[in-house]
Amino acid sequence: MAEDSGAEKTEQPTPKKLQDAAKKGQIARSKDLGTAFVLIGSAAALLVFGKMLAMAMLNIGQRMMRLDQKDIFETNSMFTAWGDAGRELAAPLSGIFILILIAAFVGNTLLGGFNFSWEAAGPKASKMSPIQGFKRMFGLQALVELVKSILKVLVVVGIAYLLLKVFFMDIMALSLMSEPNNIESALYFLAWLFLGLCASISVIAVVDAPYQVWNHTKQLKMSLQEIKDEHKNSEGSPEIKARIRRTQMQMSMKRMMQQVPTADVIVTNPTHYAVALKYDQGKFRAPAVVAKGVDEVAMHIRKIASEHKIPIIESPALARSIYYTTKLDHPIPEQLFAAVAQVLAYVFQLNLYRKGKGSRPKALAKELPIPEDVRH
């Protein structure tokens, strides 16, 4: 069925629509949120490992500026110095790198979760189209990005001015301090200034993240016709499903009718209900229902039973009880054992009588022992 593209898209996207979009790489993402996490993670890393990094840099500076007679005549002294510098910087830089890596992963998966799509990574003709490029440059999304960029500049400049004003005297006092305190303090102030500037970016991210979720949902909204078409494609059209059900019922009915000639007795209502019972001691400990039905199906069961000379017993209460309490190819419940036993005993005696091997059995009782809890 053709998709109704002109219909108004007012419905929320279905789980299947969201799943298909994720496979194409279309998920809610906030670049500002990821950037804010990376920057704040970097500032936090400097606060945690800043002192260690400062001491490592101080040791490296002192080592590089110190020259003795041994270093002059040692050809490998330069490589040894670089090795020492690498060992000094390994621990603080590794810690900073790991914290930034964790922040980057969390920031980029916090909204939309982790998702990788080969389809999104592949080349697209629309991205190389000049017309599509102009639409992206002058569209609503471009306008939103422009507004966000202006807000970023204003917020960052404002926060930077406030931070410099607060820490101005402390920064100027660094020139009066001696090493290594001046290096540690400088990195300390740098980290806090950096953290303040990064926190200002988070203000934009807090606004941008809900907008990206709303915009993503808006782009994936569906019309009522699209939802109907999706349901048909996933579940199958009602016409085909109905045809399959009819075919299954016909096959099941055919198999059931093939079991009627094997039954020991047919219990009827006498016109509306009919159940076929068979007592197979090797399969069930009680008689089982091999066929059952109402109205036309019941009439067809009685017809087949008559053709194959299967005894037909009229017992309305028992027929209804068996029909409603016992599934096809299942044994009858214990509550009906006594009533069905009387029916089967009568049928077996009747068969012996017809073969001339016994006396005529007494008529079956009109009121069979059927408990109230299984009566229908």
pLDDT band at 122 (very low <50, low <70, confident <90, very high): low
Q: Which regions of 215-363 does DSSP assign to beta strands (E)?
A: 265-268, 273-278, 288-294, 312-314
For residue 21, what are its two tokens?
A: 């979009």
CA-CA distance, 20 to 342, in Å (whole number)?
63
Average pLDDT for residues 366-374, to the nearest whole number? 81
Average pLDDT for residues 87-101, to the nearest whole number? 88
Give the CATH number of domain 261-374; options: 3.40.630.30, 3.40.1690.10, 1.20.1740.10, 1.10.357.10. Answer: 3.40.1690.10
For residue 54, what are its two tokens?
A: 């400062």
For residue 131, what are its two tokens?
A: 């017309």
pLDDT of residue 98: 92
pLDDT of residue 2: 42
> Residue 86: is it exposed, middle or buried by C-beta count within 10 angstroms (0-12/13-18/19+)?
exposed
What residue type is assigned to position 274 of the chain?
Answer: A
For residues 243 and 74, which has the higher predicted lDDT (pLDDT)? 243
* Reduced 3-state DSSP string for 27-84: CCCCHHHHHHHHHHHHHHHHHHHHHHHHHHHHHHHHHHHCCCHHHHHCCCHHHHHHHH
For residues 367 and 5, which has the higher predicted lDDT (pLDDT)? 367
User: Does 18 have pLDDT greater than 70?
Assistant: yes
Average pLDDT for residues 153-175, to the nearest whole number? 79
- Residue 114 sits at φ, ψ, to 5 deg, of -80, 130
pTM (2 d.p.): 0.45
Of 21-25, 92-96, 270-274, the poorest mean pLDDT is in 21-25
For residues 294 and 180, which has the higher predicted lDDT (pLDDT)? 294
Residues with Cβ < 8 Å from 142, sequence gap 6 or more?
136
Of 6-20, 26-40, 88-102, the poorest mean pLDDT is in 6-20
What residue type is assigned to position 306 of the chain?
Answer: S
- Residue 27 sits at φ, ψ, to 5 deg, of -135, 160
Q: In what order do the strands lie in the sheet with 312-314?
A: 288-294, 273-278, 265-268, 312-314
- Residue 29 sits at φ, ψ, to 5 deg, of -135, 140
Q: What is the DSSP string of 196-230?
A: HHHHHHHHHHHHHHHHHHHHHHHHT-B-HHHHHHH
Most confident of 5-19, 137-151, 178-192, 296-310: 296-310
pLDDT band at 180 (very low <50, low <70, confident <90, very high): low
> Residue 234: is it exposed, middle or buried by C-beta count within 10 angstroms (0-12/13-18/19+)?
exposed
Average pLDDT for residues 50-67, to the nearest whole number? 76
CA-CA distance, 286 to 279, in Å (whole number)?
6
Residue whose entry in the numeric block shows the structure tokens 């016994």: 358
What are the extents of the domains in the chain? 27-120+151-219, 261-374
User: Does 50 have pLDDT greater than 80?
Assistant: no
Residues with Cβ < 8 Å from 260, sequence gap 6 or more?
266, 276, 290, 291, 301, 304, 305, 308, 310
Cα distances (Å, whole numbers) of residue 329 to 56, 68, 85: 83, 101, 84
